[in-house]
Protein backbone atom coordinates (compact mmCIF):
# COMPACT_ATOMS: atom_id res chain seq x y z
CA UNK A 1 0.00 0.00 0.00
CA UNK A 2 1.53 3.36 -0.95
CA UNK A 3 1.53 5.96 1.78
CA UNK A 4 -1.64 8.04 1.91
CA UNK A 5 -1.98 11.53 3.35
CA UNK A 6 -5.75 11.63 2.98
CA UNK A 7 -6.93 8.29 4.41
CA UNK A 8 -10.50 9.51 4.90
CA UNK A 9 -10.88 10.06 1.17
CA UNK A 10 -10.57 6.52 -0.09
CA UNK A 11 -11.46 6.98 -3.74
CA UNK A 12 -11.59 9.75 -6.33
CA UNK A 13 -14.52 12.07 -5.59
CA UNK A 14 -17.46 10.78 -7.68
CA UNK A 15 -20.16 12.80 -9.42
CA UNK A 16 -23.47 11.82 -7.83
CA UNK A 17 -25.87 14.52 -8.94
CA UNK A 18 -27.83 17.29 -7.24
CA UNK A 19 -29.63 15.01 -4.80
CA UNK A 20 -26.48 13.43 -3.37
CA UNK A 21 -26.23 13.37 0.41
CA UNK A 22 -22.54 12.41 0.41
CA UNK A 23 -20.40 15.47 1.25
CA UNK A 24 -17.48 13.78 -0.51
CA UNK A 25 -19.23 13.78 -3.88
CA UNK A 26 -19.87 16.28 -6.65
CA UNK A 27 -23.44 17.43 -7.14
CA UNK A 28 -22.84 19.44 -10.30
CA UNK A 29 -19.26 18.95 -11.48
CA UNK A 30 -19.41 16.11 -13.95
CA UNK A 31 -16.06 16.28 -15.67
CA UNK A 32 -16.97 14.72 -19.01
CA UNK A 33 -20.44 16.22 -19.35
CA UNK A 34 -20.75 18.29 -22.52
CA UNK A 35 -21.88 21.88 -22.15
CA UNK A 36 -22.25 23.69 -25.47
CA UNK A 37 -19.96 21.19 -27.19
CA UNK A 38 -17.14 21.30 -24.64
CA UNK A 39 -16.60 19.16 -21.55
CA UNK A 40 -17.01 20.73 -18.14
CA UNK A 41 -13.35 20.15 -17.37
CA UNK A 42 -12.31 21.93 -20.59
CA UNK A 43 -14.52 24.87 -19.73
CA UNK A 44 -13.47 25.23 -16.13
CA UNK A 45 -9.80 24.19 -16.07
CA UNK A 46 -9.67 24.01 -12.26
CA UNK A 47 -6.35 24.41 -10.52
CA UNK A 48 -5.11 23.90 -6.96
CA UNK A 49 -3.04 26.70 -5.39
CA UNK A 50 -0.03 24.96 -3.86
CA UNK A 51 0.73 27.68 -1.34
CA UNK A 52 -2.60 27.63 0.46
CA UNK A 53 -3.60 24.01 0.13
CA UNK A 54 -0.30 22.29 0.76
CA UNK A 55 1.80 24.89 2.55
CA UNK A 56 -0.56 26.75 4.86
CA UNK A 57 -0.04 26.00 8.53
CA UNK A 58 -3.15 27.83 9.65
CA UNK A 59 -1.12 30.56 11.34
CA UNK A 60 -2.41 34.12 11.45
CA UNK A 61 -1.12 37.35 12.98
CA UNK A 62 -2.46 36.36 16.40
CA UNK A 63 -1.41 32.72 16.53
CA UNK A 64 0.92 30.08 15.17
CA UNK A 65 0.26 26.90 13.28
CA UNK A 66 -3.11 25.26 13.84
CA UNK A 67 -2.80 22.51 11.22
CA UNK A 68 -0.69 19.41 11.70
CA UNK A 69 0.02 18.26 8.22
CA UNK A 70 1.74 14.92 8.02
CA UNK A 71 3.44 15.99 4.80
CA UNK A 72 5.23 18.84 6.59
CA UNK A 73 6.98 16.76 9.27
CA UNK A 74 10.23 15.44 7.70
CA UNK A 75 13.33 17.04 9.21
CA UNK A 76 15.27 17.46 5.97
CA UNK A 77 13.82 20.32 3.87
CA UNK A 78 14.10 18.48 0.55
CA UNK A 79 12.47 15.34 1.98
CA UNK A 80 9.74 17.60 3.35
CA UNK A 81 9.28 19.23 -0.05
CA UNK A 82 9.03 15.82 -1.74
CA UNK A 83 6.49 14.50 0.75
CA UNK A 84 4.50 17.69 0.30
CA UNK A 85 4.51 17.11 -3.44
CA UNK A 86 3.40 13.50 -2.97
CA UNK A 87 0.50 14.77 -0.88
CA UNK A 88 -0.26 17.39 -3.53
CA UNK A 89 -0.52 14.87 -6.34
CA UNK A 90 -2.59 12.52 -4.19
CA UNK A 91 -5.01 15.39 -3.59
CA UNK A 92 -5.10 16.42 -7.28
CA UNK A 93 -5.87 12.84 -8.28
CA UNK A 94 -8.59 12.31 -5.70
CA UNK A 95 -10.24 15.63 -6.57
CA UNK A 96 -9.89 15.02 -10.30
CA UNK A 97 -8.28 18.45 -10.70
CA UNK A 98 -5.98 18.62 -13.72
CA UNK A 99 -3.94 21.74 -12.98
CA UNK A 100 -1.94 23.30 -10.20
CA UNK A 101 -0.07 26.57 -9.63
CA UNK A 102 2.95 27.35 -7.50
CA UNK A 103 5.50 29.92 -6.39
CA UNK A 104 9.11 28.77 -6.66
CA UNK A 105 9.41 28.85 -2.86
CA UNK A 106 6.30 26.74 -2.34
CA UNK A 107 7.60 23.68 -4.12
CA UNK A 108 11.26 24.07 -3.10
CA UNK A 109 12.75 25.35 0.14
CA UNK A 110 14.75 28.55 0.25
CA UNK A 111 18.46 27.75 0.60
CA UNK A 112 21.11 29.63 2.58
CA UNK A 113 22.29 31.28 -0.62
CA UNK A 114 20.64 32.22 -3.89
CA UNK A 115 22.62 29.48 -5.64
CA UNK A 116 21.38 26.90 -3.15
CA UNK A 117 17.78 28.05 -3.65
CA UNK A 118 18.23 27.57 -7.39
CA UNK A 119 19.56 24.03 -6.90
CA UNK A 120 16.67 23.19 -4.59
CA UNK A 121 14.23 24.40 -7.20
CA UNK A 122 15.89 22.29 -9.88
CA UNK A 123 15.66 19.21 -7.67
CA UNK A 124 11.98 19.77 -7.08
CA UNK A 125 11.23 20.59 -10.71
CA UNK A 126 12.72 17.24 -11.70
CA UNK A 127 10.53 15.56 -9.07
CA UNK A 128 7.42 17.44 -10.23
CA UNK A 129 8.14 16.46 -13.81
CA UNK A 130 8.00 12.76 -12.91
CA UNK A 131 4.77 13.17 -10.98
CA UNK A 132 3.15 15.21 -13.77
CA UNK A 133 4.12 12.51 -16.24
CA UNK A 134 2.79 9.72 -14.08
CA UNK A 135 -0.56 11.43 -13.40
CA UNK A 136 -1.25 13.69 -16.38
CA UNK A 137 -1.66 16.69 -14.05
CA UNK A 138 -0.40 19.91 -15.67
CA UNK A 139 0.99 23.21 -14.54
CA UNK A 140 -1.43 26.10 -15.09
CA UNK A 141 1.12 28.68 -14.01
CA UNK A 142 4.29 29.22 -12.10
CA UNK A 143 5.47 32.37 -10.39
CA UNK A 144 8.30 33.65 -8.23
CA UNK A 145 7.73 34.55 -4.60
CA UNK A 146 9.11 38.09 -4.57
CA UNK A 147 7.48 39.13 -1.31
CA UNK A 148 8.39 36.76 1.57
CA UNK A 149 12.15 37.20 1.81
CA UNK A 150 13.25 40.05 4.09
CA UNK A 151 15.23 41.68 1.28
CA UNK A 152 11.96 42.33 -0.58
CA UNK A 153 10.45 44.40 2.21
CA UNK A 154 10.83 47.50 0.01
CA UNK A 155 9.77 45.82 -3.21
CA UNK A 156 11.34 43.52 -5.79
CA UNK A 157 11.20 45.11 -9.26
CA UNK A 158 10.58 48.46 -7.59
CA UNK A 159 13.21 48.10 -4.86
CA UNK A 160 15.33 51.26 -4.41
CA UNK A 161 18.40 49.04 -4.18
CA UNK A 162 19.67 47.86 -7.59
CA UNK A 163 21.32 44.77 -6.08
CA UNK A 164 17.99 43.60 -4.71
CA UNK A 165 16.19 44.35 -7.97
CA UNK A 166 18.88 42.31 -9.76
CA UNK A 167 18.31 39.43 -7.34
CA UNK A 168 14.58 39.53 -8.00
CA UNK A 169 15.29 39.47 -11.74
CA UNK A 170 17.59 36.48 -11.32
CA UNK A 171 14.88 34.73 -9.33
CA UNK A 172 12.31 35.38 -12.07
CA UNK A 173 14.74 34.01 -14.66
CA UNK A 174 14.98 30.80 -12.72
CA UNK A 175 11.25 30.57 -12.04
CA UNK A 176 10.57 31.08 -15.76
CA UNK A 177 12.91 28.25 -16.62
CA UNK A 178 11.19 26.03 -14.06
CA UNK A 179 7.77 26.91 -15.47
CA UNK A 180 8.92 26.19 -19.01
CA UNK A 181 10.50 22.89 -17.98
CA UNK A 182 7.19 21.79 -16.48
CA UNK A 183 5.16 22.83 -19.51
CA UNK A 184 3.49 25.68 -17.62
CA UNK A 185 0.73 27.24 -19.71
CA UNK A 186 1.10 30.71 -18.16
CA UNK A 187 3.42 32.65 -15.88
CA UNK A 188 2.06 35.09 -13.29
CA UNK A 189 3.42 38.34 -11.89
CA UNK A 190 1.77 39.43 -8.70
CA UNK A 191 3.52 42.46 -7.24
CA UNK A 192 2.67 42.16 -3.58
CA UNK A 193 5.45 44.51 -2.53
CA UNK A 194 5.52 46.56 -5.73
CA UNK A 195 4.04 49.68 -4.24
CA UNK A 196 4.74 52.03 -1.40
CA UNK A 197 4.12 52.66 2.29
CA UNK A 198 5.03 56.34 2.46
CA UNK A 199 5.44 59.08 -0.12
CA UNK A 200 8.03 60.69 2.15
CA UNK A 201 10.62 58.21 0.88
CA UNK A 202 9.19 57.19 -2.49
CA UNK A 203 9.53 58.31 -6.11
CA UNK A 204 6.47 56.77 -7.75
CA UNK A 205 7.47 57.63 -11.30
CA UNK A 206 10.89 56.05 -10.94
CA UNK A 207 9.50 52.92 -9.28
CA UNK A 208 7.01 52.39 -12.08
CA UNK A 209 9.74 52.85 -14.67
CA UNK A 210 11.85 50.28 -12.84
CA UNK A 211 8.92 47.88 -12.81
CA UNK A 212 8.45 48.34 -16.54
CA UNK A 213 12.15 47.57 -17.13
CA UNK A 214 11.82 44.51 -14.96
CA UNK A 215 8.89 43.24 -17.02
CA UNK A 216 10.61 44.07 -20.32
CA UNK A 217 13.57 41.97 -19.25
CA UNK A 218 11.20 39.10 -18.48
CA UNK A 219 9.56 39.48 -21.91
CA UNK A 220 12.98 39.38 -23.57
CA UNK A 221 14.03 36.29 -21.64
CA UNK A 222 10.74 34.55 -22.41
CA UNK A 223 11.49 34.97 -26.11
CA UNK A 224 15.07 33.94 -25.66
CA UNK A 225 14.25 30.59 -24.07
CA UNK A 226 11.20 30.02 -26.26
CA UNK A 227 8.68 29.90 -23.43
CA UNK A 228 5.27 30.01 -25.10
CA UNK A 229 3.09 30.39 -22.02
CA UNK A 230 1.00 33.51 -21.50
CA UNK A 231 2.35 36.23 -19.19
CA UNK A 232 -0.25 37.39 -16.68
CA UNK A 233 -0.39 40.24 -14.18
CA UNK A 234 -2.58 39.87 -11.12
CA UNK A 235 -3.96 43.20 -9.86
CA UNK A 236 -4.43 43.87 -6.15
CA UNK A 237 -4.86 47.28 -4.49
CA UNK A 238 -3.10 46.73 -1.17
CA UNK A 239 -1.75 44.11 1.25
CA UNK A 240 1.03 43.61 1.98
CA UNK A 241 1.84 47.13 0.72
CA UNK A 242 -0.40 50.02 1.66
CA UNK A 243 -0.66 50.97 -1.98
CA UNK A 244 0.21 48.64 -4.84
CA UNK A 245 0.79 49.95 -8.35
CA UNK A 246 -1.24 47.23 -10.10
CA UNK A 247 -4.24 48.21 -8.04
CA UNK A 248 -7.03 47.01 -10.32
CA UNK A 249 -7.62 45.91 -13.90
CA UNK A 250 -7.95 49.45 -15.28
CA UNK A 251 -4.79 50.70 -13.54
CA UNK A 252 -2.83 47.65 -14.69
CA UNK A 253 -3.96 48.00 -18.30
CA UNK A 254 -2.96 51.66 -18.26
CA UNK A 255 0.43 50.82 -16.77
CA UNK A 256 1.05 48.14 -19.41
CA UNK A 257 -0.04 50.38 -22.24
CA UNK A 258 2.03 53.36 -21.18
CA UNK A 259 5.17 51.22 -20.97
CA UNK A 260 4.75 49.32 -24.28
CA UNK A 261 4.00 46.08 -22.51
CA UNK A 262 0.35 45.57 -23.32
CA UNK A 263 0.81 43.09 -26.17
CA UNK A 264 2.84 40.75 -23.96
CA UNK A 265 0.43 40.44 -21.03
CA UNK A 266 -3.06 39.50 -20.01
CA UNK A 267 -4.63 39.76 -16.57
CA UNK A 268 -5.21 37.19 -13.86
CA UNK A 269 -8.26 38.48 -12.00
CA UNK A 270 -8.78 37.46 -8.36
CA UNK A 271 -12.22 37.83 -6.79
CA UNK A 272 -11.01 38.96 -3.37
CA UNK A 273 -8.60 41.48 -4.91
CA UNK A 274 -11.52 42.96 -6.84
CA UNK A 275 -13.55 43.47 -3.67
CA UNK A 276 -10.54 44.93 -1.85
CA UNK A 277 -10.28 47.43 -4.71
CA UNK A 278 -13.87 48.48 -4.06
CA UNK A 279 -15.15 46.64 -7.15
CA UNK A 280 -17.12 43.50 -7.67
CA UNK A 281 -15.45 40.38 -9.04
CA UNK A 282 -17.59 40.64 -12.19
CA UNK A 283 -16.62 44.28 -12.69
CA UNK A 284 -12.93 43.38 -12.81
CA UNK A 285 -13.59 40.42 -15.11
CA UNK A 286 -15.69 42.61 -17.40
CA UNK A 287 -13.08 45.39 -17.57
CA UNK A 288 -10.32 42.90 -18.41
CA UNK A 289 -12.50 41.06 -20.91
CA UNK A 290 -13.63 44.26 -22.65
CA UNK A 291 -9.96 45.03 -23.30
CA UNK A 292 -9.42 41.50 -24.67
CA UNK A 293 -7.14 40.85 -21.71
CA UNK A 294 -8.93 38.42 -19.41
CA UNK A 295 -6.38 35.60 -19.26
CA UNK A 296 -7.04 33.65 -16.08
CA UNK A 297 -8.86 33.76 -12.76
CA UNK A 298 -7.92 33.32 -9.12
CA UNK A 299 -11.23 31.90 -7.96
CA UNK A 300 -11.97 32.74 -4.35
CA UNK A 301 -14.12 35.14 -2.35
CA UNK A 302 -13.62 37.72 0.38
CA UNK A 303 -15.62 38.54 3.46
CA UNK A 304 -17.54 41.77 2.96
CA UNK A 305 -17.11 42.67 6.63
CA UNK A 306 -13.34 42.26 6.67
CA UNK A 307 -10.94 44.56 4.89
CA UNK A 308 -8.29 42.01 4.00
CA UNK A 309 -7.64 39.13 1.64
CA UNK A 310 -9.46 36.30 3.44
CA UNK A 311 -9.08 34.03 0.39
CA UNK A 312 -12.14 31.92 1.09
CA UNK A 313 -13.36 29.26 -1.29
CA UNK A 314 -15.99 30.50 -3.75
CA UNK A 315 -19.42 29.31 -2.63
CA UNK A 316 -21.65 32.15 -3.77
CA UNK A 317 -23.65 31.05 -6.79
CA UNK A 318 -24.47 34.63 -7.79
CA UNK A 319 -20.82 35.55 -7.97
CA UNK A 320 -19.78 32.40 -9.83
CA UNK A 321 -22.68 32.79 -12.29
CA UNK A 322 -21.86 36.42 -13.07
CA UNK A 323 -18.24 35.34 -13.59
CA UNK A 324 -19.10 32.43 -15.88
CA UNK A 325 -21.35 34.66 -17.99
CA UNK A 326 -18.35 36.85 -18.78
CA UNK A 327 -16.01 33.90 -19.34
CA UNK A 328 -18.44 32.14 -21.69
CA UNK A 329 -19.12 35.35 -23.57
CA UNK A 330 -15.43 35.64 -24.43
CA UNK A 331 -15.30 31.95 -25.36
CA UNK A 332 -13.36 30.74 -22.36
CA UNK A 333 -10.06 31.57 -20.75
CA UNK A 334 -7.75 30.18 -23.44
CA UNK A 335 -4.60 28.96 -21.68
CA UNK A 336 -5.92 30.28 -18.35
CA UNK A 337 -8.09 28.53 -15.81
CA UNK A 338 -9.92 28.79 -12.51
CA UNK A 339 -7.24 28.60 -9.86
CA UNK A 340 -8.52 28.17 -6.32
CA UNK A 341 -6.34 30.80 -4.67
CA UNK A 342 -8.21 30.01 -1.47
CA UNK A 343 -7.53 28.54 1.92
CA UNK A 344 -9.56 26.64 4.47
CA UNK A 345 -10.19 28.51 7.72
CA UNK A 346 -7.71 28.22 10.55
CA UNK A 347 -10.21 26.13 12.49
CA UNK A 348 -10.69 23.63 9.65
CA UNK A 349 -7.88 21.47 10.97
CA UNK A 350 -8.67 18.14 9.30
CA UNK A 351 -6.98 17.52 5.90
CA UNK A 352 -10.37 16.27 4.68
CA UNK A 353 -11.57 19.88 4.95
CA UNK A 354 -9.36 20.61 1.93
CA UNK A 355 -11.61 18.26 -0.04
CA UNK A 356 -14.88 19.80 1.15
CA UNK A 357 -13.48 23.21 0.26
CA UNK A 358 -12.46 22.32 -3.29
CA UNK A 359 -15.62 20.29 -3.92
CA UNK A 360 -17.72 23.31 -2.93
CA UNK A 361 -15.83 25.66 -5.24
CA UNK A 362 -15.87 23.21 -8.14
CA UNK A 363 -19.59 22.55 -7.75
CA UNK A 364 -20.51 26.22 -7.61
CA UNK A 365 -18.54 26.98 -10.79
CA UNK A 366 -19.97 23.89 -12.51
CA UNK A 367 -23.52 24.91 -11.59
CA UNK A 368 -22.71 28.48 -12.73
CA UNK A 369 -21.49 27.10 -16.06
CA UNK A 370 -24.78 25.25 -16.57
CA UNK A 371 -26.83 28.32 -15.64
CA UNK A 372 -24.77 30.68 -17.81
CA UNK A 373 -24.90 28.39 -20.81
CA UNK A 374 -28.72 28.42 -20.66
CA UNK A 375 -28.87 32.20 -20.26
CA UNK A 376 -26.60 32.60 -23.27
CA UNK A 377 -28.46 30.06 -25.41
CA UNK A 378 -31.78 31.74 -24.59
CA UNK A 379 -30.22 35.16 -25.37
CA UNK A 380 -32.18 36.41 -22.36
CA UNK A 381 -29.67 39.05 -21.34
CA UNK A 382 -27.75 39.60 -24.55
CA UNK A 383 -31.00 40.21 -26.45
CA UNK A 384 -31.98 42.89 -23.97
CA UNK A 385 -28.58 44.57 -24.07
CA UNK A 386 -28.53 44.49 -27.85
CA UNK A 387 -31.93 46.18 -27.97
CA UNK A 388 -30.90 48.76 -25.34
CA UNK A 389 -28.27 50.25 -27.64
CA UNK A 390 -30.20 49.83 -30.87
CA UNK A 391 -30.64 53.59 -31.42
CA UNK A 392 -26.95 53.67 -32.36
CA UNK A 393 -27.49 51.22 -35.21
CA UNK A 394 -29.21 53.61 -37.59
CA UNK A 395 -30.09 57.27 -38.06
CA UNK A 396 -28.31 59.83 -35.96
CA UNK A 397 -26.78 57.19 -33.64
CA UNK A 398 -25.02 55.48 -36.53
CA UNK A 399 -23.75 58.84 -37.76
CA UNK A 400 -22.35 59.67 -34.30
CA UNK A 401 -20.47 56.40 -34.08
CA UNK A 402 -19.16 56.71 -37.62
CA UNK A 403 -17.67 60.09 -36.73
CA UNK A 404 -19.75 61.80 -39.39
CA UNK A 405 -21.23 64.49 -37.14
CA UNK A 406 -19.96 67.02 -34.58
CA UNK A 407 -21.48 69.17 -31.86
CA UNK A 408 -22.85 71.71 -34.35
CA UNK A 409 -24.62 69.07 -36.41
CA UNK A 410 -26.07 67.56 -33.28
CA UNK A 411 -27.39 70.90 -32.09
CA UNK A 412 -29.13 71.38 -35.41
CA UNK A 413 -30.52 67.83 -35.28
CA UNK A 414 -31.81 68.20 -31.70
CA UNK A 415 -33.52 71.51 -32.56
CA UNK A 416 -35.36 69.82 -35.43
CA UNK A 417 -36.62 66.91 -33.34
CA UNK A 418 -39.07 66.34 -30.48
CA UNK A 419 -37.79 65.61 -26.98
CA UNK A 420 -36.24 62.12 -26.53
CA UNK A 421 -38.36 59.22 -25.21
CA UNK A 422 -37.01 57.61 -22.02
CA UNK A 423 -36.76 53.86 -21.92
CA UNK A 424 -36.62 51.77 -18.76
CA UNK A 425 -33.33 50.01 -17.99
CA UNK A 426 -35.46 47.26 -16.37
CA UNK A 427 -32.93 46.34 -13.72
CA UNK A 428 -35.44 44.68 -11.37
CA UNK A 429 -37.00 42.68 -14.16
CA UNK A 430 -33.54 41.45 -15.19
CA UNK A 431 -32.63 40.57 -11.61
CA UNK A 432 -35.78 38.45 -11.44
CA UNK A 433 -34.86 36.85 -14.74
CA UNK A 434 -31.40 35.95 -13.45
CA UNK A 435 -32.97 34.51 -10.30
CA UNK A 436 -35.34 32.42 -12.36
CA UNK A 437 -32.33 30.68 -13.92
CA UNK A 438 -30.41 30.32 -10.67
CA UNK A 439 -33.23 28.81 -8.62
CA UNK A 440 -34.77 26.78 -11.45
For Ni ion, which stretch binds (CB under 5 A), given 4-12, 145-153, 267-275, 351-359? 267-275
Among Ni ion, ligand XLS, none, what binds residue 143 when CB lies within 5 to 8 Å by partner kind? ligand XLS
DSSP annotation of 350: S
Residue 309 within binding range of Ni ion, rule CB under 5 A: yes
- Least Å from the CB of residue 128 to ligand XLS: 18
Q: Is 106 in the site for Ni ion (CB under 5 A)?
A: no
Contacts of residue 41, Cβ cutoff 8 Å, sequence gap at least 6: 31, 32, 96, 98
* Distance (Å) of CA 33 to CA 22, 37, 41: 20, 9, 8
Which position among 83, 282, 298, 363 is part of the footprint of Ni ion (CB under 5 A)?
298
- For residue 103, indicate whether it is catalytic: yes
53 contacts 354 by C-beta, under 8 angstroms: yes
- Position 284 contacts Ni ion (CB under 5 A): no
Catalytically annotated residue among 103, 273, 283, 358: 103
Strand, coil or helix: 430: helix
| Smallest gap from residue 322 Cβ to ligand XLS (A) | 20
Report, in Å, the least distance between residue 303 CB and ligand XLS.
14
Cβ-closest residue to ligand XLS? 190
Site of interaction with ligand XLS (CB under 6 A): 103, 143, 188, 190, 234, 236, 270, 298, 309, 341
Q: Which residues contact 291 (CB under 8 A, 6 or more apart)?
A: 249, 253
Rounded CA-CA distance 177/179 in Å is 5
Residue 83 binding partner per list ligand XLS, Ni ion, none, with a CB distance cut-off of 5 to 8 Å that depends on partner kind: none
Among 341, 360, 364, 369, binds Ni ion (CB under 5 A): 341
| Helical axes 317-329 vs 281-290, angle rounded to 10° | 0
Question: Among 106, 248, 298, 309, which one carries the catalytic annotation?
Answer: 106
- The site partner of 71 among ligand XLS, Ni ion, none (C-beta below 5 to 8 Å per kind) is none
Candidates 12-20, 55-63, 66-74, 303-311 — which segment interacts with Ni ion by CB under 5 A? Answer: 303-311
User: Is the Cβ of residue 15 or residue 340 nearer to Ni ion in the bound state?
Assistant: 340
Query: Which of ligand XLS, Ni ion, none does residue 194 bind to, with CB < 5 to 8 Å depending on kind?
Result: none
Q: Is the CB of residue 239 less than 8 Å from the CB of residue 276? A: yes
Q: Is 318 exposed, middle or buried (0-12, 13-18, 19+ CB in 10 A)?
A: middle
Query: Which residue, 300, 296, 297, 298, is CA-closest to 314?
Result: 300
Q: Is 246 in the site for Ni ion (CB under 5 A)?
A: no
Q: Which residues pair with 297 in a beta bridge?
A: 269, 338
Residue pair 315/305 in contact by the 8 Å Cβ criterion: no
Q: Per DSSP, what are the bridge partners of residue 126? A: none
Interface residue list for Ni ion (CB under 5 A): 270, 298, 309, 341
Question: Catalytic residue positions?
Answer: 103, 106
Amino acid sequence: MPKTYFPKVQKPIPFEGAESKDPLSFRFYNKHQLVGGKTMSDHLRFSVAYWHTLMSSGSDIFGGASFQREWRTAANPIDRAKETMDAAFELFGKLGIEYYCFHDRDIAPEGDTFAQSCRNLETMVAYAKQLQKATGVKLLWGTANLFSHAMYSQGAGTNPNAHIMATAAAQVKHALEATKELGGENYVFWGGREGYESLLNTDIKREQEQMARFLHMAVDYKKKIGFHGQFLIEPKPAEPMKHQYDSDAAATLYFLQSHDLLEHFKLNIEANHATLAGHTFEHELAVASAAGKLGSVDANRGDMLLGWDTDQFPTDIYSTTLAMLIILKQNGLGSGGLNFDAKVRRSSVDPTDLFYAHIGGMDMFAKALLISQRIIEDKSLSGFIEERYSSFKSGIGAKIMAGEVGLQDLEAWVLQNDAPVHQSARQEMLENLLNSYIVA
